[in-house]
Copies of this chain bind each other. A is one copy, B any other.
Amino acid sequence: MEAINLNRLAYFVAVVDAGSFTRAAARLGITKTVVSQQVARLEADLRTTLLLRTTRRVEPTEAGRLLHARSVIILREAEDAFGEVAEVTTNPIGTLRIAAPNDFGTSTVAPLLAKFCRTYPACTVDLVLSDAKIDLIAHHIDVSIRVGWLADSSVQARRIGAFRQLLVAAPDLARMISADVPDNLDQHPFIANGALREPLVWHFSRADFDRRTVRMRPAMTINATPAVLAATLAGGGLSVLPDFLVADPLQTGALVQILTDWSLPSGGIHVVYPAARFRPPKVTAFVAMLEAEVKRPPIASHGSTVLT
């Protein structure tokens, strides 16, 4: 079937509805000449007379009445479709698919979703937890959250916050650590996080000038952060964990922070979008909410500057 100019349908329908080329042109905001031309072309395309013209009246032929009836429906549906799309592009609505690492997703994103869904009832959320770097497009991910230190490739990521890494231990174990400098930490059992690039070497700093680098001696290595937390809670050893994971255990006393004067390198919390020309409001709304949540330090502590 040859492609036929669908736009002319609108002109044709306007003429039939208005019952006059002149009024249709006025309604469409263009010249009657154009309307006449366009309808004539439509007729030429279809090789049919759609309208019988008198200088005083315009009456559709049978084919014209037929086409008009169908066209009205078509145009209305098109308008509806555009309206629906406009809805999606202006209001937070639809299904929001979020990708996040297991730990951050579980500890921070998941709790936030309740609030998000309450705030934007028209949104459905789909949280995809995975520590592997997944294909955003293939998985229809609207926004992906990356925590830690980005590889060079992800330059299009936007940093929305930071997290601190805390040296923690179960209370029983913590009581055995008396030193107030990191130097001899390798004497204590350490639970290494295999998911990190350098799980053993840690750079401590204090008051902007005091720096020490310590190489820990791993009692065990676990390549998933939540499991590291579990092992630490069970008293398996010291470990370095992100603040968003240990906020609760520290508050309840299930874990104790060690060397509170010293700080470890901060990591970034980033959002990554698929390369889209326009960002749906549902995404913007969620990222705004997440950013607010993340900027509020999860654990009141000594003045660590949050990187911007």
Contact surface of A with B, Cβ cutoff 8 Å: 1, 3-7, 9-10, 28, 40, 43-44, 46-49, 52-54, 57, 59, 61-63, 66-67, 70-71, 73-74, 77-86, 88-89, 94-95, 136-138, 140, 142, 274-280
Contact = CB atoms under 8 A, between A and B. Distances in A.
B9 A7 contact: no
Contact of A80 (B49, B70, B80, B279): B70
A19 to B, nearest CB: 12
Contacts of A49: 276-280
13 contacts: A1-B79, A4-B82, A6-B9, A48-B280, A54-B137, A57-B138, A62-B94, A66-B84, A67-B81, A67-B85, A70-B78, A70-B84, A71-B81
Given A43-B277, A49-B278, A54-B137, A70 B81 contact: yes
B9 A78 contact: yes
A266 B45 CA distance: 43
A85 B66 contact: yes
A43 B52 CA distance: 38
Contacts of A44: 277
B81 A74 contact: yes
Contacts of A59: 137-138, 140
Contacts of A88: 48, 62-63, 66
A66 B71 CA distance: 21
Nearest to A56: B137
B137 A46 contact: no
Contacts of A61: 276, 280
Given A7-B5, A78-B6, A95 B62 contact: yes
B280 A47 contact: no
